[in-house]
Structure 1
């Protein structure tokens, strides 16, 4: 019988000591993470909840590595993140927009390229579902060289937007330049070593928005997580992942359009399952 594990991450604030005085205050992400944690637990998942100052880069990477070690063929892993998206410079030049997208964890940012490295650690045919309720998260699970070609479509006042402001993305990088340059260099070296290696797990992303859009905060839940909960309807939803994504998309305004993509080994059975199926 398959096993299932979920890791739910939510940050209402980050550590100003790392982010050049910015605490990134949001309202709903920690509640988002609690809700997804409870949803998966109700379905029989084992799981961990990392919120606030527990959602450090080390703790998140350690938990994902633990999942990669413990999950076997046919098992299920749900990785949920709610918080700010960020950017770091693309030093090896493999991104069209010359930026690597990040999750802003409590004490430091975690790059999309690093997440991609972690997928290589999972056994064949492990099913991974990543739900990323953050800005510019449309391709956070994989490299998309053309990811910056589309013009920015978010035209609303930037209130409750779940992204690190541009000027703070730069200043955070500058004040931590030695740390980030070495981090990026190490990830790029490992990525080059794995260039010709396939990801044997099946990694599915349903993101809060496209790469050129923003995700939005809310009162009780962030916009994407709130829409997901409405569509899930306490477990009454009976469609597959394509329909799940489509109905979430229909529940959100046009300026916030969730993405759905799959990386790694094809898995037709996974494609046709009801979301969160163990």
Structure 2
């Protein structure tokens, strides 16, 4: 009997407890998505790897940069034609100065694991390029500056492809899910005791071969990571590259079941609960935009980056 196609997921929630960068809803985000993956999208518990920084918890792996990349690499190594792969990240994001001339915003996008070992857009490009033919990797990043988190992925919904609605609602109080570049640089400098403003030097000194490809490769070699001809990377970002994503607590506004949550993760969850039929990737992002607008998040605009074909493909290929 032929084995059924696998559905594999890596879910990462970083709350950064007991630090100046503490968030509160990120672990709740990925736990809620895990439940959704199992009940609605046919994922098996055994095929979902959870990485959270919950204190006094030994049931999951800590979401360090090395552990996240290892989990993603292992998932891709297991993948075969027809498999559906999913990565959900809820936590801080940041922007680092671009090393490439003429880059939009002159910055590169990155997520911030619990140990500050940045995972950059180039790392996600390399992961997508490793996908076996006939598989897809959907990334949902509920983090600041997450637009464009897969390097060179085509923009389908974003600042250059869609005119935003006029904002008529008052912006509510939020905690942005971002750590400024200067704060990351200061933290890493305290670890290495090296007097330089080059963040790559600090990351290479402290993390060595576990640092991002963005800092380990010579500048000229970065262009080797072009998108493949048949690119199966799909990015649903919580906001545009120059925006922040919100972390919400019940005392800020009515939380999901009284719990803290990430605004984009919660919006996607609401969209999926309110629409029991199949939704395309494009529809999920557009409906999530509408939810956020209705809740008053007028400065956060989710985006979609993928091929034309995948823009209209069914989200997680729901049967």
Does TM, normalized by the shorter one, top 0.5?
Answer: yes
Q: Which residue of 172, 191, 198 corresponds with 2:222?
A: 191
Q: Which residue of 14, 25, 29 corresponds with 1:28?
A: 25
Residue 9 of structure 1 pairs with residue 12 of structure 2: yes
Which sections of structure 2, spanning at least 5 residues, go unmatched?
55-61, 161-166, 193-198, 206-210, 250-258
Out of 174-183 and 201-210, give the one that drifted further.
174-183
Q: Which residue of 153, 157, 160 corresponds with 2:175?
A: 160
Q: C-alpha displacement at 1:166, in angstroms?
A: 4.6
Residue 40 of structure 1 pairs with residue 37 of structure 2: yes
Give TM-score scaled by structure 1 length.
Answer: 0.82
Number of aligned residues: 266
Q: C-alpha displacement at 1:109, in angstroms?
A: 1.4
Which sections of structure 1, spanning at least 5 residues, go unmatched?
17-21
Please say if residues 101 and 111 of structure 1, whose CA atoms lie closer than 8 Å, have aligned partners that are also in contact: yes
Q: C-alpha displacement at 1:134, in angstroms?
A: 0.5
Instruction: Find the counterpart in structure 2 of residue 19 from structure 1.
Output: none
Instruction: Find the counterpart in structure 1 of residue 312 from structure 2.
Output: 271
RMSD: 3.3
Residue 259 of structure 1 pairs with residue 259 of structure 2: no
Q: C-alpha displacement at 1:208, in angstroms?
A: 0.6
Residue 75 of structure 1 pairs with residue 72 of structure 2: no
The 1:193–1:165 alpha-carbon spacing in structure 2 relative to 1, beyond 3 Å, is closer
The superposition leaves residues 130-166 of structure 1 with CA deviations (integer Å, 9 ceiling, x where unpaired) of 10100111111123799999xxxx9968741000035
Q: C-alpha displacement at 1:4, in angstroms?
A: 0.8
Distance in 1 of aligned mates of 2:98 and 2:27: 29
Q: C-alpha displacement at 1:260, in angstroms?
A: 1.0
* Structure number with larger C-alpha Rg: 2
Distance in 1 of aligned mates of 2:180 and 2:74: 32
Distance in 1 of aligned mates of 2:140 and 2:154: 21
Give TM-score scaled by structure 2 length.
Answer: 0.73
Residue 57 of structure 1 pairs with residue 80 of structure 2: no
Distance in 1 of aligned mates of 2:239 and 2:76: 27
The superposition leaves residues 92-117 of structure 1 with CA deviations (integer Å, 9 ceiling, x where unpaired) of 44623332211010112111111111
Please list, as runs of the form range in 1=range in 2, the aligned pairs for 1:141-180 lying within 5 A after superposition.
Answer: 141-143=150-152, 159-172=174-187, 174-175=189-190, 177=199, 178-180=201-203
Distance in 1 of aligned mates of 2:246 and 2:239: 9
Q: C-alpha displacement at 1:65, in angstroms?
A: 0.8
User: SS of the counterpart of 1:255?
Assistant: coil
